[in-house]
């Protein structure tokens, strides 16, 4: 009897080790195949940041020629990098108070026959507040940190995941319009995707990531930190502390103040925002001086590079491991 028990114990140990090895393979095989080059071109970040926050685009207010130019630029990059369309075009159109708006939407289909029906959304709003009352002769609120920076991050991630070329779940890249009008673009597309019965796993939103924080042991803070195990699992996947907790984010209820929130409301899944604006490190929120030269492009590149391993593992885990807390 003891001998048989020993055999069962050895078999159980083997099966547990095999299962663990398989789980690790689920997470790492694509990385190994792709070589996981997380590097991004700082010059390309700078170029897109400069364009989106240039005076030519006049603050990218929803319904203006400036945001149309921004949309055309995003479309051209999606096309150039073979990012697919989810809708018939890259635009998801809507109207708010007689103003025509459009979210920009691209996707990369997953490689797994079953898991490809599950989606991760990477998002950021690309609109801003446009022309304002002049300050020292300047009336254009260029919106470099808010939120050309986040837009650049999502576009760079679309390029990078198109380059990596394989992930089991599908990844959608959404640039929201009319955020400054009350998260309208996010609300409209969340409702539409819910109608489409999209199987949304998580949404990861990028907001004001243009300047670094000081004295923190993480790259960016996650809004709604305590609502899910997103930060815990993401840091585990990344092998370092990418996401942290900022008390002010909870104090000011930032979880409900960015484009992640409509997706949480519609889908009740982890839908959260990363930011590096901590209320002390940037004085030009909704100000005409929010311009590209005030941002730290090396920091922006570091944010993008830091999130790639975590997103990739999130896209390749065999189960949905990131969950809301009860």
Q: 119: which strand partners?
A: 170, 200
> Are 196 and 76 found together in one domain?
yes
- For 27, 36, 199, 309, the CA distances from 145, given in Å and listed in that order, are 33, 28, 31, 24
Secondary structure (H, E, C), 133-185: EEECCEEEECCHHHHHHHHHHHHHHHHHHHHHCCCCCEEEEEEECCHHHCCHH
- Given this model, what pLDDT does residue 277 score? 98
Domain ranges, residue 68? 38-316
Kindly state whether residues 150 and 84 are assigned to the same domain.
Answer: yes
Residue 240's closest CA among 308, 296, 300? 308
Percent pLDDT > 90 in the chain is 87
| 44, part of any domain | yes
Across the chain, which has 326 residues, the per-10-residue mean pLDDT values are 42 46 45 66 98 98 98 98 98 97 98 98 98 96 98 98 95 98 98 98 98 98 98 98 98 98 98 98 98 98 98 98 95
CATH number at residue 225: 3.40.630.10
**Does residue 197 lie in a domain region?**
yes
**Burial status of residue 227 (CB atoms within 10 A of its CB: 0-12, 13-18, 19 or more):** middle
| Residue 85, domain member (yes or no) | yes
Q: Does 11 share its domain with 126? A: no
Residues 29 and 55 in one domain: no
Is beta strand 199-206 parallel, antiparallel or unpaired with respect to 91-96?
unpaired
Per the structure, how many domains does the chain have? Answer: 2
Say yes or no: 7 and 145 in one domain. no
User: 220 phi and psi, to 5 degrees?
Assistant: -145, 155
Q: Greatest CA span in the chain, whole angstroms?
A: 90
**What pLDDT was estimated at residue 19?**
45
296/151 same-domain check? yes
Q: What's the pTM?
A: 0.90
Q: What is the pLDDT of residues 214-227, one digit of tens each?
A: 999 999 999 999 99
Q: What is the pLDDT of residues 62-118, one digit of tens each?
A: 999 999 999 999 999 999 999 999 999 999 999 999 999 999 999 999 999 999 999
| The predicted structure's pLDDT at residue 326 | 81
- Let me know: does 173 contact 105? Beta carbons within 8 Å: yes
323 domain-assigned? no
**Structural domain contains residue 150:** yes
Examine residue 138 and state whether it is found in any structural domain, yes or no.
Answer: yes
Residues 149 and 292 in one domain: yes
């Amino acid at each position: 009897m003891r001998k048989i028990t020993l055999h069962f114990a050895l078999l159980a140990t083997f099966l547990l080790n095999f299962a663990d090895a398989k789980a690790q393979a689920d997470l790492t095989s694509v990385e190994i195949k792709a070589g996981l080059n997380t590097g991004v071109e700082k010059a390309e970040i700078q170029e897109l940041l400069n364009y989106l926050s240039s005076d030519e685009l006049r603050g990218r207010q929803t319904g203006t020629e400036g945001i149309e130019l921004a949309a055309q630029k995003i479309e051209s990059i999606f096309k150039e990098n073979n990012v697919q369309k989810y809708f018939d075009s890259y635009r998801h159109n809507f109207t708010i108070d007689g103003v025509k708006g459009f979210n920009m939407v691209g996707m990369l289909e997953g490689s797994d026959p079953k898991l490809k029906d599950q989606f991760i959304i990477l998002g950021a709003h690309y609109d801003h507040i446009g022309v304002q009352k002049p300050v020292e002769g300047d009336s254009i609120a260029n919106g470099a940190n808010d939120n050309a920076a986040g837009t650049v991050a999502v576009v760079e991630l679309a390029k990078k995941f198109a380059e990596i070329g394989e992930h089991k779940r599908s990844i959608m890249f959404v640039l929201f319009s009319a955020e400054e009008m009350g998260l309208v673009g996010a609300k409209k597309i969340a409702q539409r995707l819910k109608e489409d019965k999209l199987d949304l796993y998580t949404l990861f939103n990028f907001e004001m990531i243009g300047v670094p924080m000081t004295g923190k042991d993480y790259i960016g803070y996650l809004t709604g930190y305590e609502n899910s195990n997103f930060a815990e699992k993401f840091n585990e996947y990344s092998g370092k502390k990418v996401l942290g907790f900022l008390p002010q984010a909870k104090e000011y209820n930032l979880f409900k103040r960015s484009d992640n929130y409509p997706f949480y409301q519609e889908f009740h899944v982890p839908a959260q925002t990363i930011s590096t604006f901590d209320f002390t490190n940037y004085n030009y929120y909704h100000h005409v001086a929010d311009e590209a030269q005030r941002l730290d492009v090396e920091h922006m590149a570091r944010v993008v590079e830091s999130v790639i391993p975590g997103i990739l593992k999130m896209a390749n885990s065999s189960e949905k491991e990131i969950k809301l807390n009860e």
